[in-house]
Amino acid sequence: MNWLLRLKHWLEFLGGATDAVPRSFNGPGGWVLLAVWWMALVGLITLFCRQASKFIYIDF
């Protein structure tokens, strides 16, 4: 049951629901994982934004 609570805290933090850093976030390994997480999110956003960026110009 304790791991469910820790998972909930991590998912809330990664999703931006809370600003409180989980207690298991100590050390440089946690910061590296967080950086990888945000880089992956930015990459996904960039990937999907490119598909919808076709410019259509119609001159009447």
Q: Give tens-digit pLDDT for 11-51.
A: 888 788 887 777 766 666 777 877 888 899 899 888 877 66
Asked if residue 59 is part of any domain, the answer here is: no
Per-residue pLDDT, 7: 84
Element (H, E) at 3: helix 2-15
3-state SS, one letter per residue, for 13-41: HHHCCCCCCCCCCCCHHHHHHHHHHHHHH
Q: Per the domain annotation, does 17 fall within a domain?
A: yes
Overall pTM > 0.85: no
Distance (Å, whole) CA 14 – CA 56: 36
The answer as to whether 60 is a domain residue is no
What's the pLDDT score for residue 20?
A: 79
Asked if residue 6 is part of any domain, the answer here is: yes
What is the number of structural domains in the chain? Answer: 1
pLDDT recorded at residue 26? 66
Q: Could you tell me the residue range of the domain that residue 39 belongs to? A: 2-52
Whether residue 32 is contained in a domain is answered as yes
In a domain, 24, yes or no: yes
Task: Tally helices (H) and strands (E) across the chain.
Answer: 2, 0
